A = this chain, B = another copy of it.
Amino acid sequence: MSGLSRYFPVLDWGREYSRGLLIDDVVAAVIVTIMLIPQSLAYALLAGLPPEVGLYASILPLVAYALFGTSRALAVGPVAVVSLMTATAVGRIAQTGSPEYLTAALTLAFLSGLFLILMGLFRAGFLANFLSHPVISGFITASGLIIAASQLKHIFGISASGHNLLEIIVSLIEHLKELNPYTVAVGVTATLFLFWVRKGLKPLLVRFGLGERFADILAKAGPIGAVALSILVVLAFGLGEKGVSIVGDIPTGLPPLTLPVFDMDLWSSLIGSAVLISIIGFVESVSVAQTLAAKRRQRIDADQELIGLGAANMASGLSGGYPVTGGFARSVVNFDAGARTPAAGAYTAVGICLAALFLTPLLFHLPKATLAATIIVAVLSLVDFRLLAQTWRYSKSDFLAMLATILGTLGLGVEIGVILGVGLSILLFLYRTSRPHCAIVGQVPGTEHFRNVNRHQVLTSKELVTLRIDESLYFANARFLEDRIYELVAKQPEIRHVVLMCPAVNDVDASALESLEAINHLLKDAGVKFHLSEVKGPVMDRLKRSHFLDDLTGEVFLSQFDAMHALAPELAEMAARSLKNRENEATRQRSGFDPSI
């Protein structure tokens, strides 16, 4: 990739853009537009924003991603989890419906875009790796539940609030007496209809002779059907006057272009949330982009994806939108519908733009309950508790991280939940490596191999003890090593030589160096020599840059066999005798690998 087209992937694919590609992209764009109109309205509702903000977030951001993104199938726009996180972040500093709320949402998108672009320029995409899979899936399950619960108020036609599951449920129960029967009728019908569309429509269409893929795409357009039908029902029965809450007046026109607000107080109260939203959004987006790209043996560039999503969010913040990212379901539809280049996203933007210009008057009578129903049906498909059981079977520490994320998110809110999960999974990982596997080894008679004394019949010496450590040495396990060696020496007063065997040590950091120095020093006081064996090349290079090797009381042996030979010659002789006897039969045992080590 040339320098410029690294940052502008459009220069690559744009050069070969043909009529065939154009047709494919336009077809996909039309289908995605139909899917995106109700979604963008619904997710704006979830974020506590006016419906047009959802439309605005689906116009310029898509164009920006088309210019800077590397995925050929990713469909960018408002998504459920990011909308919930926006509501949480912005709800903390402004009242829903106030102008400050909107300003904060715009600023959040702008900051999130800025942060993503910085991450991309500094190639810090690896940060997203710290969200382990159990944490992400726990987070998505828990947010799905919170989102579904938060939308029940629209289905019931009551007012309720809260940022965690308990608060929302309590609030719902408190307001249950305000229940509006017409709203319930619309909401429940829409929910059932959408569930049926998701599960039952596709098989039905296939039975009527439609192709599998086309039936699937048509079933995904269910929400637009629900929207149209419920508008007709509201109009026919005059439900707007009977207390059914409707979307009402949506301003017609193009997105407003605004400069970002440079208010340092606002920035500092939003920056933490912007970072979280960016990382969560990036992880969601990059996984689907990578999956889809790999299906066509294409590649995406994670760092450039950061820039693409960053540009999309900045565009959103500058054109009346709120934080966006690549949506999972929508991108799959885009892919299945045949999108071939990021241009499909730009055509979708044109579609949404037309909707914002001409469709909004038709949406006046759209009941909010229908939008809530589309959200509930979409997010409940994300809720998956079977993963908990699977993870429990596979790994207890991953299970713990997942459970902490779910409980934290449900009980303390989305932001604390995800921080808890990430913190715990890092902590558990460090804990595991802080007690590395290590073994006292002896020589297997008749070979040059050294094995764990507890598992094999091996030759050992009273004056020489060899400890093999199966992990890189770094700050979390440095003291463990010290402790282990002091224990050995305290237990066995005859020891004259300690050898640390390092075939699995890929790194020795400054803390571990300090520990090695302390061990050397203390063993010296106790009249014991400290040696190393089988130190890897790069580790040796690094040790040479310190004083450790000058002060070392013992030697560094290339192989443990050499160490044995030099430090316990009687043992080496014994081994050599066995070796001779077994020389012939041992000829074929040359593979370095032994799964029982």
**Of the residues B293, B435, B437, contact of A506 by C-beta under 8 Å:** B437
**Pair B393/A471 contact, Cβ less than 8 Å:** no
| Given A479-B129, A545-B394, A507-B432 contact (CB < 8 Å) | yes
**A448 touches which of B290, B294, B298, B590 (Cβ 8 Å):** B590
Interface-central residue, A430, A437, A482, by most chain B CB under 10 Å: A430
Contact: B475 with A425, CB < 8 Å?
A: yes
Are B477 and A129 within 8 A (Cβ)? yes
Residues of B within 8 A of A590 (CB): 447-449, 586, 589-590
Cα distance, A358 to B475, chains bound together (Å): 47
Q: Tell me whether A126 and B470 are in contact in the complex, defined as CB-CB below 8 angstroms, given that A133-B478, A302-B483, A510-B398 are known contacts.
A: no
A297–B537 contact, CB under 8 A? no
CB-CB nearest in chain B for A511? B133
A273 within 8 A of B: no
The yes or no answer to A574 lying at the interface (CB within 8 A) is no
A-B contact pairs, 5 of them (CB 8 A): A126-B431, A133-B475, A291-B518, A394-B510, A394-B513
- Interface-side segment among A246-254, A324-332, A343-351, A554-562: A554-562
Task: State the CA gap A545–B397 with chains docked (Å).
Answer: 15
Alpha-carbon separation in the docked complex, A545 to B396 (Å): 12
A476 and B506 contacting across the interface, CB-CB below 8 Å: no
Task: Say yes or no: A294 contacts B133, CB within 8 Å.
Answer: no
- In the complex, whether A525 has a CB less than 8 A from a CB of chain B is yes
* Least CB distance, A484 to chain B, in whole angstroms: 11
Q: Copies per complex?
A: 2
Nearest B residue to A537, CB-CB: B595
In the complex, which of the residues B132, B509, B534, B594 contacts A132, with contact meaning CB atoms closer than 8 Å? B509
Are A510 and B391 closer than 8 Å at their CB atoms? yes
Q: In the complex, what residue of chain B is closest to A561 when comparing beta carbons?
A: B591
Of A184-192, A237-245, A485-493, the one with at least 4 CB within 8 A of chain B: A485-493
Bound Cα distance from A215 to B149, whole angstroms: 75
List which A271-314 residues lie within 8 A (CB) of chain B: 290-291, 293-295, 297-299, 302
Q: Are A486 and B299 in contact (CB under 8 A)?
A: yes
Tell me the minimal C-beta distance from A273 to chain B in angstroms.
Answer: 19
Say yes or no: A509 contacts B398, CB within 8 Å.
Answer: yes
The CA-CA distance from A131 to B597 in the complex, in Å, is 32
A170 within 8 A of B: no
A202 to B503, CA, bound (A): 47
Cβ-defined contact, A506 with B471, below 8 A:
yes
Docked-complex contact B490 and A542, CB < 8 angstroms: no
What CA separation (Å) do A583 and B590 show in the bound complex? 10
In the docked arrangement, what's the CA distance between A398 and B537, Å? 20
8 Å CB contacts to B: which residues of A464-502?
A: 470-471, 474-480, 482-483, 486-487, 489-490, 493
Q: Is the CB of A592 closer than 8 A to any CB of chain B?
A: yes
Query: Hey, which chain B residues are within 8 Å of A542, CB to CB?
Result: 394-395
Give Cα A28 to B522, complex, Å: 23
Contacts of A470 in B (CB 8 A): 506
Smallest CB–CB gap between A83 and chain B, Å? Answer: 25
Whether, in the assembled complex, A504 has its beta carbon less than 8 Å from a beta carbon of chain B, the answer is yes
A596 at the B interface (CB under 8 A): yes
7 new A-B contacts at CB < 8 Å, known A395-B509, A429-B430: A133-B478, A290-B486, A297-B489, A299-B487, A395-B542, A425-B475, A429-B509
Residues of B within 8 A of A561 (CB): 591
A580 CB–B CB distance under 8 Å: no
Closest CB of chain B to A247's CB: distance in Å?
40
Known A299-B490, A594-B592: A129·B391 in contact at CB below 8 Å:
no
Interface contact B129-A480, CB-CB below 8 Å = yes
A429, chain B: closest CB distance, angstroms:
6
Say yes or no: is A96 at the interface (Cβ < 8 Å to chain B). Answer: no
Q: Closest residue of chain B to A436, judged by CB? A: B506
Q: Tell me which residues across on chain B come within 8 A of A391, comparing CB atoms.
A: 510
Question: When A393-B545, A432-B507, A542-B395 are in contact, do A522 and B475 touch as well, CB less than 8 Å?
Answer: no
Contact present for A591 and B510 (CB under 8 Å): no
Task: Verify if A180 is at the interface (C-beta below 8 Å from B).
Answer: no
Given the known interface contacts A395-B510, A542-B394, A591-B561, the answer about A426 and B437 at a Cβ–Cβ threshold of 8 Å is no
Which residues in B have their C-beta under 8 angstroms from that of A593? 503, 534, 559-560, 592
Whether A514 sits at the interface, judged by CB under 8 Å, is: yes
Q: A49 CA to B483 CA in the complex, in Å?
A: 38
Residues in chain B near residue A553, CB distance under 8 A: none
Q: Which of A126, A513, A594 has the most CB of B within 10 A?
A: A126
The answer to whether the Cβ of A390 comes within 8 Å of any Cβ in the partner chain is yes
Bitwise, A508-537 to B at CB < 8 A (1) or not (0) is 011101110010001001100000001111
Q: A475 with B393: in contact, given A299-B487, A506-B470 (CB under 8 Å)?
A: no
